[in-house]
Structure 1
């Protein structure tokens, strides 16, 4: 695993196909060449040779793009770079141009969000949560229908019993009444059986709803660090903004990004990189409480929300965690070697000083990149006129 979230099967398979085709092209073999005896290498100046050159140049451009932005070599990053450099996806091209114009650099986490927005049909935590909402709604309706059916069956049985009792006491048409009484008793027994089945079905429905709730929680948590994910954070942000406004409290947000995380992965391996992510997540989570929420925003980036703290106070809280991390001496468990110092940079903004929460998040993100540009391992406060 690396700094970026694992892509879905479709983009990865598509990239694998592309890499396979490029590999064949770079080796001078046609797609249908299975290593026959005849030499089928393209002649100089041929169309096939020009295609090989074009592919090789594109491959180099993609590598340069990933290296320039310090991006992990993952299928999702490779695919987005390909779409941008070839103009194959206008949406991706516009998004990358916009962010490059705004801050001159892109990150693994940002690419994740772009890829997700360009593939709305893929099963994402958001789409999964939507499906769970719909299933839960249907189950709630079904539970109501079962409850109504049970009550109707009970009322119908009681009415039949009462009418049968009255007819039986009249003394006329005894054979008919006897059959009616027998039929009524049979109906009552069937009704009781249906009630038993409905009660059992209701228990099963409640168990299923509980399972769906567990699935919902899973959809809102990052499986690696155990922290809430971006979707969960966005829901908390909406709630906290309302609480802060209603109670006249301050609200601050911080973006924290591990410095040189790609180097950690490249030097020590992705397994060690995962442990670093979990370690940093643990340090950040220690300060969380009812008024402080921590989530993994994507890749090596975390987000913190402080209700009741000014932006300056939030800076102090984040900086205390940053200082704690920068003094830790981590060891690569795989080989026992001592790792370079791990640190993170952060940007903090006053949420209520901006027109909307999204603008505040952008301001905190810009402050984070200023911290990166000015040396890393530091916390910067966004200007409220930003």
Structure 2
């Protein structure tokens, strides 16, 4: 998506695209902030991208496109560009460290070569003038050369120690950047990119090992009502609450993720259908057991309920096929009155 956008903004149609972006934001009553402009630039220039599809869904729902919405979209769909910048910066530091080490090694190599020359010269002089006075001069020369090579060797050791510390710091930094790029900023759960990668990997592993794996899609019931009644800050509070329950119950090796908007997903590797259904009902009951209060005013928000659909992977089934069946089960839960868990293998398929 990023490369497609970058190509477009460097092409002759860049100015017309910029006008279209501004016109589209004005039509949707969206302020032309730098972040909104970047999001809408991606939305119009890469219409088939996950970001564009999510924006189309949000706009079709009629929900206002707020700063909170923009930040959520950027955190979920735009971290890769920031990740690339972080990696480039780390690469520049690493290149400087490697250049410094290479320079120190060259100096040590030159010092060793000179030391070898000094030894060869001393041997020749000892053979040509073996008197005690000459030997004293030769020994003094060898002593000086030995001290020089020790200094260069010590300098190289210090340089290598320093570089090793810097490389460890860079490794830790890049690992943190990688984690940030795979984490939803609002809920601290895995984001959609991390979820997609984990699901593919776990489905491949399940196929190889013949082990079970379950997938659940979870949707907050009537979430739009929270946003419309109390505002998006309260909506964010509800999202974080649901995420906190998921994070506590869906611990490793389970994987809980924010799938998009008010929808979440959980992967259950190595668990039977009965165990998955029991865990999902535990999540549903805990979420619905607590009456939330609005932080800013202490107003009673009432209980939050969720609709859940899950599917147990069948042999030979792809990750996309499992997702589609779980999604059908989710819509069966919604049509059935919400606040329930539906098993894709026992429910009738959802109507299109």
CA-CA distance at 1:257 after TM superposition: 1.0
Change in Cα spacing, 1:367 to 1:138, as seen in structure 2 (3 Å) is: farther
Does 1:315 pair with 2:277?
yes
Cα 1:379/1:123, change in 2 over 3 Å: closer
Any conservation in 2 of the 1:326–1:343 contact (CA below 8 Å)?
A: yes
TM-score by length of 2: 0.67
In structure 2, C-alpha distance between the alignment counterparts of 1:249 and 1:19, rounded to whole Å: 49
Q: Which residue of 1 aligns with 2:238?
A: 276
Give, in whole Å, the separation in 1 of the partners of 2:203 and 2:159.
Answer: 47
User: 1:140 and 1:345 mapped to 2: Cα distance?
Assistant: 49
Structure 2 counterpart of 1:334, from 288, 296, 303: 296
Distance (whole Å) between structure 2 residues aligned to residue 361 and residue 375 of structure 1 = 22
For 1:358 and 1:258, locate their aligned partners in 2 and report how far apart those are by CA, in whole Å.
Answer: 22
Which residue of the partner structure matches residue 42 of structure 1?
Answer: none
- Decide whether aligned partners of structure 1 residues 92 and 167 sit closer, same or farther in structure 2, where only a CA change above 3 A counts: closer
Cross-structure match for 2:340: 378
Secondary structure (helix, strand or coil) at the match of 1:266 reads helix
Q: Distance in 1 between matches of 2:97 and 2:314?
A: 42
Equivalent of 1:165 in 119, 125, 129: 119
Please tell me whether the aligned partners of residues 125 and 231 of structure 1 are also in contact (alpha carbons under 8 angstroms): no
Q: Indicate the residue corresponding to 2:8 in structure 1.
A: none
C-alpha offsets along residues 286-343 of structure 1, whole Å, 9 cap, x if unaligned?
2223332111112211110111223343223212211222232111222222113211
Matches within 5 A, 1:175-186: 186=148
Contact 1:325–1:342 (CA under 8 A) maintained in structure 2? yes
Q: 2:176 aligns with which of 193, 198, 214?
A: 214
Rate the CA distance shift 1:310–1:135 in 2: closer, same or farther, 3 A.
farther
Q: Any gaps of 5 or more consecutive residues in structure 2?
A: 1-17, 64-69
**Secondary structure at the residue paired with 1:340?**
strand
Q: 1:233 aligns with which of 195, 204, 207?
A: 195
3-state SS of 2:277 partner: helix
SS in structure 2 opposite 1:281?
helix
Aligned to 1:302: 264
1:266 and 2:228 aligned: yes
Q: Structure 2 vs 1, CA of residues 361 and 126 (structure 1 numbering), >3 Å: closer, same or farther?
A: farther
Change in Cα spacing, 1:335 to 1:215, as seen in structure 2 (3 Å) is same
Structure-2 change in CA distance of 1:233 and 1:142 (3 Å): farther
Q: 1:256 is paired with a residue of what secondary structure?
A: strand
Is 1:286 equivalent to 2:248 in the alignment?
A: yes
Higher relative contact order, chain-length normalized (CA < 8 Å, sep 6+): 1
Q: How does 1:78-227 map to 2 (within 5 A)?
A: 91=47, 124-129=78-83, 154=108, 157-158=111-112, 160-169=114-123, 170-171=125-126, 172=128, 186=148, 189-190=151-152, 192-227=154-189
How big is the alpha-carbon RMSD for the aligned residues of Structure 1 and Structure 2?
A: 4.6
- Compared with structure 1, are the counterparts of its residues 245 and 324 closer, same or farther at alpha carbon in structure 2 (3 Å cutoff)? same
Q: In structure 1, how many angstroms separate the alpha carbons of the residues matched to 2:284 and 2:77? A: 35
Cα 1:128–1:310 shift into 2, 3 Å = farther
Number of equivalenced pairs: 302
Larger CA deviation: 296-305 vs 318-327: 318-327
Question: Does the alignment pair 1:344 with 2:296?
Answer: no
Distance 2:339 2:32 in 1: 29
| Cα contact 1:318–1:379 (8 A) shared by 2 | yes
Query: Does the 8 A contact of 1:153 with 1:191 survive in 2?
Result: no
What are the superposed Cα offsets for residues 100-132 of structure 1, whole Å, 9 maximum, x if unpaired?
9xxxx9799xxxxxx9xxx9xx98234445666
1:22-56 Cα deviation digits (max 9, x unpaired): 5xxxxxxxxxxxxxxxxxxxxxxxxxxxxxxxxxx
Give the structure 2 partner of residue 56 of structure 1. none
Deviation at 1:232, TM superposition (A): 1.8
Distance 1:18 1:294, change over 3 A: same
* Runs of at least 5 residues in structure 1 that lack an aligned partner in the other structure: 1-12, 23-58, 64-72, 109-114
Task: Provide the rounded CA distance (Å) in 2 between the counterparts of 1:132 and 1:239.
Answer: 26
